[in-house]
Structures are given as C-alpha cells and as structure tokens.
Amino acid sequence: MSVWRRQEDPSRKEANQPRRVAGTHAASCVALLCLSFLFAPVASAQRTELKPGWNMFTPQQDIEVGKKAAADAAKQLPLCDDPKADAYLTQLGMRLVAKLPTNGVQYPFEFHCVNDKAINAFALPGGYAFINRGAIEAADNEAQLAGVMAHEISHVALRHGTNQASKAEFASGVLGIADGILGGSTGGALLSKLGAFAAGGVLLRYSRTAESQADVMGTQVLYDSGYDPRGMAQFFEKLEAETKGKNPPEFFSDHPNPEHRVERVDEEIEKLGGVPPNARRDSTEFEAIKREVLALPVAKKLMPAAAAAAKPPAPPSGNFASYQANGYALKYPDNWKKYPDSNGAGASFAPDGGVVDDGTGHAALAYGLIVSVAQASGDPNDWDALNNATQQMIQELQKSNPNMKIARQSEHVRLNGQPGLATYLSNDSPVGGQETDWVVTTLRPEGLVSFVCVAPQPAYEKYDKTFNAILDSVRFAK
Ligand SMILES: [Zn+2]
C-alpha cells in the first residue's frame, strides 16, 4: 500500500490529492543526494572513475548484513549442489575480483550456482553472489557470463545495496519514520536497521543510475581481466531481444535497464582503447560447465531470488503499547514502531521490515496499520454520509494505488460504539504478490477517520487477530 496522507489545508489546490509518505519533500532530498552519484567528469579517452556513493554504513557492516542475508538465501533457494559448477564460478569470479577496485576493502567474495532456469543473478553487500543456472545456460560464451558476474561484483564494490538503504533511511528519517537514527545512534541500532532493509528487499532493488555504474565498472573489470569487454552488453541485448513481447526476464526486475545501456558501454570500451584483438571470449571449461548445468535436474522453484533474500517481519507481539493522538487513542503491538504524521492526527504503525522501499525510493507500508483523517462532514450516525465519504476515500486511494480493487463490499461495524464501515480491498504488495487491506472508517467531527490494516495476502490471517485487537482498543475523545 502506498502510504498516503491528505493535505489538511483546504486553501491549497491539491487539497484532495493523497500522496505517498515519501512525497515531494523526501524525493527532492533523495534527488539532491543523487547528485553525488553522478559519474565523475574525466578527460576524454580516459576510463570513467567510479566511487561508492554516500553511505551511512561501514564496509564491515556491508559484510555483516550480507553474510546474514546470504545464509537465509542459501536456505531458501534451490542451490545446484554441483561442486564442479560452484568451483568454476568461484574461479571465474575470483579472476574478475582480482581486477575489481574495492578501495582497499577485502570483501569475502563467494559464488554459488542456483538451480533456477530464470535468467538472473544477484550479489548481496559484502560479496555474496548467486548465479542462476539460467544465466549460465543463456550465455553464448564465457565472456558473456563473465560480463554478468562483473556487473554483479561491481554492485558490491560500489556498495549499491547499502547506498540504497542509506537513501531510503534518509528519506524516511526526513519524515520522522526513524527519528534519531541519523543523529548519534549506535552502530548496533544502525545494523538492525540494515537488517530490516535486507528483510524488505531494499538491498537488491537498484536504481537505473546504479545499474549504469555497474555496467561501466563491470566493463572495465572485463577489459582488465582480459575478456572481451563487449560480453556484458551482448548478454543484455540478447536477453532483451529474446524476450521481446514477453514478460521481461527476472534480471531486469532486479536490475532495471538503464537508458542507452549499450551505447554507454560502447563509449566506455572506446575510452579503454577499444576491444583488444586477443580478448578472451570462450573457454573449454565454460562449454563443459554449460553442459553440466544443462543436465542438472530442474529443481522446484522455492522463491524468486530477491524475495528469498528478504525475510518477513517478526510476528506481532501479544503485548500492547499505548498511543494517544489528537482525537483518539489506541493500543498497538509493543514490537511495532509508531510513525506519527506531522499534523498529529494520522499515524502509521509497523513492525521492523514492515515499511519497505517500493522500488522507486519511496516508503511503502507492507505490514501494519495506517490511521488517517480525511476531510468529510456529516452526522456520525448517518450511515449514508459515512458510506459516501468512505467510497470517496477509496476512490482517492485507488488514484495512488492503480491496482487496488474492492474485494468485499462494505459491512456495518461498530468502532468504540460508533457506526463504522469495514471494507476489504486487494492491492499489489510492495514485497511482491497481492496484499489485503482491511479498511475501517467512521465519521468524526474532525472528518472521516480511517484505519487501514495492511498485510500480504498469504500472511494476512496471521495478522487478523492483531488488527482486531487494535481496532477494539480504539477510544475516541468525547
Ligand atoms: Zn545490476
């Protein structure tokens, strides 16, 4: 669910437009930060210099969080369990790593073959790389496979995962979602924050700028290790051509296709001095390993790679904390965090890992509760007025959540003795798949108060009891 809030000031034109929590203000802050990620200008015919962007975590924390996420991924992904394939990937990977500029940091690189036919690969912070058999099978030669791997390890060297988490953290910090994290908090708190980002999949959703940087550095690494530097761009072109008109391959959902991808890579090859005549393209080892993985039995797919690296939040606690807002009070699980709106009326409540990046740098609530107050007038005991205001609010929600649908028509309920409407909606979940939104509304002197309970559909049942307990605890001011 796109976390949204109404503008309270009726004098403003956009008064009725809902907006995402990480709206214009945060977006512009993120945009500002992005300036430092632009390629450093260099003299022509010199290789592009790339450095990791702004990061609030240390390289050691990259390794720590990556190691944990990799252990989870290894448990949830069907691994090839083929020592020959793993040894080959490790040998090839380390050959590339030898030419990777890491600013002196020694990342503990690991390369694992995943028994998944989808053409994909990913590397967690710290250097834990997973390469699908589908990527090996789709590569025409060793230079193309090396290209994908060089791209992945460049994300590690450029620390894109924790850079992404830093930006998301900054964006949410600006809005008070994580007050105090930026100012003088301990390394331990930061690290657990990072764990929450790993759980939300933030570490593996790269921006197009990050993709372009990984392409450029990957091309340099290919060149420096003696491979045909066109290998990576050829592989991406092939992926695109083969899937024209079909669903985009998984690779592009984790690694969005930057604009002018191939041109940018060609430009870099030019700067490096062109394709060396003796550049390595293929090897008998590659052909042998390709045959080896083609012969592997197909494993049942457990989870898409990026989702496997993410973990759902801990279950809601049975103990409750109190929250007092202007106009109402409620109780929420004491292992959730509260994120009050600046206007004092609305608030969100979510477990660690419940607020995630929606893939565009905006915060989205995947698990938890959003309370908001919308402008509406009417007698609190008039069901028609309540129904009208509720339908209008749902239509507004649908504007910022285009795939949101009414799953079950509104039913009459009581909320702290007041007439209320309960409506079930379905929507795209920011963690993938569908989510259930249970919306309970009631009319109050301050407007239409809505309680939106959000959880991914498969997990909703586990949250139902908690949502009911929260709504039962609601007390309105007299
Ligand atoms: Zn990428």
Most confident stretch, 26-40, 187-201, 349-363: 349-363
Higher-confidence residue of 354 and 287: namely 287
Mean pLDDT of the 225-238 span = 93
pLDDT, one tens digit per residue, over 78-94 is 899 999 999 999 999 99
In contact, 113 and 91? CB cutoff 8 Å: no
Q: What pLDDT is stored for residue 266 in this prediction?
A: 95
Following DSSP, what letter does each residue of 36-75 receive, concatenated?
GGSPPP--TTSPPP------SS-HHHHHHHHHHHHHHHHH
Q: How far is the CA of 359 from the centre of ligand 1 (A)?
A: 13
Under the banding of pLDDT at 50, 70 and 90, the label for residue 417 is very high
Mean pLDDT of the 19-23 span = 36
Helix, strand or coil for residue 439? Answer: strand
With a cut of 50, say whether residue 20 has pLDDT above it. Answer: no
Q: How far is the CA of 261 from the centre of ligand 1 (A)?
A: 12
With a cut of 50, say whether residue 23 has pLDDT above it. Answer: no
Q: Is the dihedral of CA 326, 328, 329, 331 positive or negative?
A: negative
Q: How far is the CA of 121 from the centre of ligand 1 (A)?
A: 9
Q: How far is the CA of 364 from the centre of ligand 1 (A)?
A: 22
Mean pLDDT of the residues in the chain: 81
In contact, 306 and 318? CB cutoff 8 Å: no
> What is the phi/psi pair of residue 121, to 5°?
-160, 150
Q: How far is the CA of 433 from the centre of ligand 1 (A)?
A: 22
- CA 413, CA 420: separation in Å to the nearest integer? 5
Mean pLDDT of the 290-297 span = 94
Q: How far is the CA of 284 from the centre of ligand 1 (A)?
A: 27
> What is the phi/psi pair of residue 434, to 5°?
-105, 155
Q: Token digits for 151? A: 């791209």
Q: How far is the CA of 94 from the centre of ligand 1 (A)?
A: 19
Mean pLDDT of the 137-165 span = 95
- C-beta neighbour count of 322 within 10 angstroms: 10
Q: How far is the CA of 339 from the centre of ligand 1 (A)?
A: 32
Q: How far is the CA of 291 from the centre of ligand 1 (A)?
A: 26
Q: Is the dihedral of CA 364, 366, 367, 370 positive or negative?
A: positive
Q: How far is the CA of 392 from the centre of ligand 1 (A)?
A: 41
Q: What pLDDT is stored for residue 97 in this prediction?
A: 98
Q: How far is the CA of 224 from the centre of ligand 1 (A)?
A: 20
Angle 222-68-289 from CA coordinates, rounded to 5°: 40
b/e per residue, 274-297, with b = 16+ CB within 10 A?
Answer: eeeeebbbeeeebeebbebbeebe
Residues found in the chain: 478
Q: How far is the CA of 151 from the centre of ligand 1 (A)?
A: 6
Under the banding of pLDDT at 50, 70 and 90, the label for residue 380 is confident
Whole-angstrom CA distances from 5 to 296, 336, 405 are: 51, 20, 19
With a cut of 50, say whether residue 434 has pLDDT above it. Answer: yes
Q: How far is the CA of 11 from the centre of ligand 1 (A)?
A: 45
Q: How far is the CA of 204 from the centre of ligand 1 (A)?
A: 9
With a cut of 50, say whether residue 36 has pLDDT above it. Answer: no
Q: How far is the CA of 122 from the centre of ligand 1 (A)?
A: 8
With a cut of 90, say whether residue 377 has pLDDT above it. Answer: no
Residue whose structure tokens are 């448990």: 75
Segment (H or E) for 424: strand 418-428
- CA 410, CA 418: separation in Å to the nearest integer? 16
Q: How far is the CA of 155 from the centre of ligand 1 (A)?
A: 7
Listed residue (10, 20, 9, 38) closest to 370, CA to CA = 20
Q: What pLDDT is stored for residue 172 in this prediction?
A: 55
Q: How far is the CA of 162 from the centre of ligand 1 (A)?
A: 14
Higher-confidence residue of 116 and 97: namely 97
With a cut of 90, say whether residue 39 has pLDDT above it. Answer: no
Q: How far is the CA of 469 from the centre of ligand 1 (A)?
A: 43
Mean pLDDT of the 243-263 span = 74
Q: What pLDDT is stored for residue 181 in this prediction?
A: 33
Q: How far is the CA of 435 from the centre of ligand 1 (A)?
A: 27
Q: Token digits for 340? A: 């009050």
Q: Is 127 left (phi over 0), alpha (psi -120 to 50) or beta?
A: left
Q: How far is the CA of 310 from the centre of ligand 1 (A)?
A: 17
Q: What pLDDT is stored for residue 137 in this prediction?
A: 95
CATH 3.40.1000.10 domain range(s) in the chain: 4-22+312-476
Under the banding of pLDDT at 50, 70 and 90, the label for residue 391 is very high
Whole-angstrom CA distances from 85 to 285, 286, 384 are: 10, 10, 66
Q: How far is the CA of 81 from the centre of ligand 1 (A)?
A: 25
With a cut of 70, say whether residue 177 has pLDDT above it. Answer: no
Q: How far is the CA of 360 from the centre of ligand 1 (A)?
A: 15
Cα pseudo-dihedral 451, 452, 458, 464, rounded to 10: 0
Q: How far is the CA of 467 from the centre of ligand 1 (A)?
A: 38
Higher-confidence residue of 113 and 13: namely 113
Q: Is the pTM for the entire model greater than 0.75?
A: no
The architecture (CATH level 2) of 4-22+312-476 comes to 3-Layer(aba) Sandwich (3.40)
Q: Is 24 left (phi over 0), alpha (psi -120 to 50) or beta?
A: alpha
Longest alpha-carbon distance in the chain: 82
Instruction: Return the DSSP state at 212.
Output: H
Q: What pLDDT is stored for residue 368 in this prediction?
A: 93
Under the banding of pLDDT at 50, 70 and 90, the label for residue 28 is very low
Q: How far is the CA of 205 from the centre of ligand 1 (A)?
A: 9
Helix, strand or coil for residue 409? Answer: strand
Q: Token digits for 62? A: 């990259």
With a cut of 60, say whether residue 163 has pLDDT above it. Answer: yes
